[in-house]
């Protein structure tokens, strides 16, 4: 079952990567990047169990944290064109 889950996650990763390459708008690419981050997190966890080394879970946690920060930061950049912009109240 772990092998099947790993293979399915790899296929998922490939399809999301295809969407990131194709995506017509930048938001499609960002959505794909977010999905890739989530799937990579799951893949690390399942792969750790597959090899009997669940230490990979720490890496998965760090990956998840970096993923959410990355998506929000890139999103802010593409929405306002400036990482230091002061939110949406003035708009």
- Interface with another protein by CB under 8 A: which residues? 1-2, 4-5, 7-9, 11-12, 15-16, 18-19, 22, 25, 27-28, 30-32, 34-35, 38-39, 41-42, 45-46, 49, 54, 57-58, 60-61, 64-65, 67-68, 71-72, 75, 78-79, 88, 91
Angle CA 47–49–54, to nearest 5: 100
Structure tokens at 74: 């890139």
* Minimum distance of another protein from residue 59's CB (angstroms): 11
Nearer to another protein, 18 or 51 (CB): 18
* Minimum distance of another protein from residue 38's CB (angstroms): 5
Decide: 44 and 60 in contact? Cβ < 8 Å.
yes
* Minimum distance of another protein from residue 52's CB (angstroms): 11
Angle CA 43–74–76, to nearest 5: 135
Angle CA 17–19–24, to nearest 5: 135
Classify 8 as helix, strand or coil: helix
* Minimum distance of another protein from residue 46's CB (angstroms): 7
């Amino acid at each position: 079952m772990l092998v099947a889950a790993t293979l399915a996650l790899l296929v998922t990763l490939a399809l999301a990567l295809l969407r990131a390459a194709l995506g017509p708008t930048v938001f499609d690419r960002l959505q794909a990047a977010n999905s890739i981050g989530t799937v990579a997190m799951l893949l690390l966890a399942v792969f750790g169990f597959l090899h009997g080394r669940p230490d990979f879970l720490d890496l998965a946690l760090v990956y998840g944290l970096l993923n959410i920060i990355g998506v929000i930061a890139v999103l802010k950049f593409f929405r306002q064109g400036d990482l230091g912009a002061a939110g949406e109240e003035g708009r």
